Chain A
Amino acid sequence: MSTQRFGERVPRLNDAKLLRGQGCYVDDVPLPGAYHAVFLRSPFARARILSIDASAAREHPSVAAVYTCDDLGPLDQPLPMLSPHPAIIAARTQRPLARDEVFHVGQTVAMVIAVDRYTAEDALRLIDADYEPLPVTVDLASAAAPGAHPVHPDLTDNIVGHFAQRSGDPDGAFAKAEHVTSLRVRMDRSTAAPIETRAIAARWEAATGELTVWDTTQAPISIRDGLASILGLEENKLRVIAPDVGGGFGQKVMLFYPEEILVPWAAMRLARPVKYVEDRTENFIGSSQERTQIHEIQLAATKDGTVIGLKDSFLHDSGAFAPYGIEVPRVSASAIAGPYRIPNVDVEFKAIYTPTVPVTPFRGSGRPHACFALERAMDQLADELGLDRFELRRRNLIGPDEFPYVREGLKYVDDGTITYDSGQYPKALAMIEEAIDLERFRREKDAAAKEGRYLGLGLAFYMECTGLGPYDGCRIRVHPATGKVSVNTGLASQGQGHETVFAQIAADRLGVPIEDVIVAQGDTAAFDRGGGSHSSRSAVVGGNAVHKAAVRVRAQILETAARLMAVPEESLELADGRVTVKGANRFMTLAEIAIAANPLSSPFDRPAEVVSQYGTAGQELVTVGEGRAPGIEASAYYSPSASPWAYGVHAAIVEVDPDLCSIAFKRYLSVHDCGKMINPTIVEGQMIGGIAQGIGGAFYERLDYDEDGIITNASFMEFLMPYATEVPKIEIMHLETPSPANPLGIKGAGEAGTIAVPAVVASAVEDALKPLGVGRFHHAPLSPNMIFEAITRARAKAGG
């Protein structure tokens, strides 16, 4: 009898090759004779292009081509607008290569193709591009204000879109409120900085008219579909492969980055393979960023701490273009009321163009901002009402018997009404409270205070709507020769472990050892319908598709075996790669069944002879039944009808050094509920990794744009990311509330870790420095400078 693999800590199936250095990332794909592409990028945030003289570069003997917008023909047009919405006022997307004007430092202006990257970079310097710089307004609040320099010359302001939604009667709630707390919070610009930068390679086979593209994308099928349309190729002539990909975190899902169109196009033009590998500086100025928002949030409460209303008005920085429209701020707007009952909500935002790198979703996607605004407001409200922070939250958390909990009038980005499916929010809070051991913390805090050290406790709850549609699919086939099971899906992994969790799901249904399940993904030749890996959706949407396909294949196996062995299905048992007649010494292996279900005109071996025209099987076996595929094979698609909401609560104990203005984590705790866990080890990896990235976003990772729109820390030497020495040991606690939203009862887990961390850290630092009379921390990421200034202000105030 096979053991149940769902829920087990199954070691990952694809680790060995990665550990041996045998992974195959885009730049590892052997492409003999490949040319290399490099890009001339704008040095100005806004400028008019007066001239581009590429003649010297074109004369370089090792240069194959230099392209500007004039050479692109029909490709010289704005890239697709991916998320249209009626609230968008001015949709602007970029062209593959800039025409007439540039809109951010790093925008692609020309493409050089040469024999190697070194030579191509030499040739870049031979291009004489002349610009007339234009005035810019870089700061978000200023860019939103009257008098700002518009980023787009045909607009009079910088408004991408203006969106508002409400639930209940917020005005009535504020009129009735016994207490209103108001605050302004801000989060700054950051970047995902995956350790592998973006890369694209393409090979054109002129003889067959087939184009193969290797792309570090999170959504190879979308890239294939879009590229086929742009390049005028049939879908079946274009194969897009996302091989091993070195982290993505949202940055690698764009349709399109200019390079994703131009490199394949150049490979076709030049009839030679072409490869582009972004360098680290380009990743800072040419790949999507996220995070800047400014919220004005208010909570209306009764004196006993019941929050009866929320109003939030915020600005969202879209960067120079808005390929994803207003999607990121809409996610923020959907998440703003968090896990609290708050029945009356009014949220509105303006998305604003600034002459900076375009903003698209980055792990957490709009939620860290909303969480920061709400949770900082909850802490402030608790202080103002003289209530304990835990107690205030306890009084407002939605209870376990209140599901489905609907926020009528509030919509998620898929336009579905916000409906929380399940959870045990109060239990999560109780778990973390118990794990912290508040009594012990207070003793330690007092003891530290006597030594002049400052300990603080931070707390924040978070929510995440996961498993975004529209659908994903899976095709499962049992191989005739080996009996092994192919599970092909349209998803793509950047390290999440899909190969393992999908194999766990399939192995259980099909009664095969997990080693016999071969998962193929990230390749349109393996499966070419579906959405891609983002929005914490792969396990939910892909996993349930695998489950559905496996249920169908299981039925086929049993039905075919019953027919072949002439026994009722009920007498059969499927386990260990074979179907056995219960209580009898008769069985067929999956390989035998797969062979028998695939009628052949010519047998290739003895077992196959049975089902060929020369065989001994009855006539009904050598035809394919109506509505059936030959062999043992089925496809299935899963399209979520409801969204599973993951949630959790984090707490941290932090020591702040008031002299160095540094922080050190004493403890970091997390309670997380992603429904039923397919593989707890992998979930823990996602949580801990997300929290580490969140710690970066809470204290280290800020992109510093100067007033001319130049990033002054666009390198790994200056953009600080946490090393092992900055990330503490993270204590993970699981809650498993099965989601009623899908057959497997699961919720997404990819992004959750990042969401609460900035709020937790601000909460902890604020708590630590309260004895010094230091005020509030409403700006993330925090920095030693902010702590220094806050302490200095407090001391000046105390002294004066």
Chain B
Amino acid sequence: MTGRSAEAPSAEASERSSDPRLLLRLTVNGAEIEREVSPRLLLSDFLRHELGLTGTHVGCEQGVCGCCTVMIDGRAARSCLALAVQADGATIRTIEDVASADGTLHPIQQAFQECHGLQCGFCTPGFIMGVLSHFEEARMPDLSEDGIREMLSGNLCRCTGYQHIVAAVRRAARLMNLDGPEKG
């Protein structure tokens, strides 16, 4: 059935794919980046494997689970549904840029820890980027139970059952003084 050897003659393939390359310039977490990339490279793969920003996770590559959520020009977006070259000129922020440079957790991250809002942690960066985007966009986020659940409805979690994530969002809003003066 095989006919010839299963392995390439020297067992060495050419060192990189024969895809054409396009020049990509963008800003990631404050750093200006210039790379040649394959035009079909997903933004998620670019961030993870070209830049080593592996905190952005890939759960479905179908745009459903929300693990790969990053901020593109200030808005939450699925990095698995975008090609890297589409982000030319864009400003991207990933989970690695959320905590302070000295490692101090952002209030959203701190709230997730305090409220046990994560278990395996795989979906967590996507949730945090989604909540961060909501908090930065909305002047008055809807912090009712239903409002928070709606806010989280772009991300799937298989471990927590969401309840502690809901609590974490409420706690984060408190820590960030987003929950209104009457409650403060």
Contacts and interface: CB of A to CB of B under 8 A. Distances in A.
A is bound by B: yes
Interface of A: 11-12, 15-16, 18-25, 27-28, 30, 35, 51-55, 58, 61-68, 70-71, 113-116, 118-119, 192-197, 244-247, 249, 269-271, 279-280, 494-497, 681-682, 684-685, 688-693, 715-717, 721, 723-725, 727, 729-730, 753
B156 A721 contact: yes
B105 A721 contact: no
B183 interface: no
Contact of B17 (A65, A118, A244): A118
Given A119-B17, A246-B120, A20 B99 contact: yes
A345 to B, nearest CB: 33
Nearest to A277: B58
B13 A495 contact: no
Interface of B: 1-8, 11-19, 38, 40-41, 48, 52-62, 64-65, 67, 94-96, 98-99, 103, 105, 109, 112-114, 116, 118-125, 128, 145, 148-150, 152-153, 155-166
20 contacts: A15-B121, A19-B113, A20-B95, A20-B103, A21-B56, A58-B4, A114-B17, A119-B18, A193-B158, A246-B123, A247-B158, A269-B7, A495-B120, A689-B158, A689-B160, A692-B160, A692-B161, A716-B59, A716-B62, A724-B162
Given A18-B118, A70-B1, A729 B163 contact: yes
Given A116-B17, A246-B57, A64 B8 contact: yes
A590 to B, nearest CB: 27
Nearest to B7: A65
B161 A691 contact: yes
B161 A64 contact: no
Nearest to B41: A118
B54 A28 contact: yes
B109 A688 contact: no
A741 to B, nearest CB: 26
Given A19-B109, A20-B99, A22-B55, A194 B1 contact: no
Contacts of A246: 57, 59, 120-123
A63 B8 contact: yes
A785 B122 CA distance: 33
Nearest to B127: A724
Contacts of B156: 195, 716, 721, 723
Contact of A58 (B8, B118, B155, B163): B8
Contact of A249 (B11, B15, B41, B158): B158
A737 B132 CA distance: 42
B14 A115 contact: yes
Nearest to B154: A723
Contacts of A65: 6-8, 11
Contacts of B61: 279-280
A279 B162 CA distance: 24
Contact of A495 (B56, B113, B121): B121
A717 B99 contact: no
Contact of A729 (B53, B145, B150): B145
Contacts of A67: 6
A681 B116 CA distance: 7
B98 to A, nearest CB: 7
Given A20-B105, A115-B13, 11 more contacts: A23-B55, A55-B4, A65-B11, A68-B6, A116-B17, A280-B61, A495-B122, A495-B159, A692-B161, A715-B60, A724-B149
Nearest to B97: A21
A729 B159 CA distance: 15
B14 A12 contact: no
Return the 5 tightest CB-CB contacts between A and B, nearest first: A21-B55, A495-B120, A246-B122, A18-B121, A692-B161
Contact of B11 (A18, A62, A247, A270): A270
B53 A64 contact: no
A15 B118 contact: yes
